[in-house]
Amino acid sequence: MNKEEECANADQTKDAGQGVGQLSVVCDGVKMYVHAPSDLRDCKICHKPHYSAERGLINKPVNELCGGCHDFKKTSFQKSHLNIDPAVMDCMKCHDPHTSEDPMFFEDVIHPLFKARSCGDCHVTEQ
């Protein structure tokens, strides 16, 4: 059994008030947020089990797959992504689609200012 399978089988709790990652588990003493659509149990929601033209054996191009649940036109989404056009983003460059210690599913190894949500320190965007 791999780490994600172990965490998926751990006791899950509801995290009230979280916009995403409403399920969490404590795995090896570390609180991990679980991406709610997959719950890490039904891989076929996002993945093809044998072959895909997409990396990670996902069903569709990453933005199309993520856009099936996340509303890219929602003001809160646009604001949190600095109003960058979702068509030029790659969700998996910043987010882990399975589990994360971060409630917004940021990757473990990312630019420190990005992790601190201080994008505006370097990036000037129109408000």
Specify the pTM: 0.70
Phi, psi of 31, rounded to the nearest 5 degrees: -75, 125
List, for residues 32-75, the tens digit of each pLDDT value.
Answer: 888 766 556 678 888 998 999 998 899 999 999 999 889 999 99
How crowded is residue 28: how many other Cβ atoms within 10 Å of its Cβ?
9
Domain count, the chain: 1
47 part of a folded domain: yes
- Report if residue 103 sits inside a domain: yes
| Cα→Cα distances 35→5, 7, 62, 82, 89, Å | 13, 12, 15, 22, 19
Residue 59 lies in a domain: yes
Residue 117 has which token pair?
A: 């949500």
Rounded CA-CA distance 80/98 in Å is: 20
Domain residues for 50?
3-121
The reply to whether 126 falls in a domain is no
127 assigned to some structural domain: no
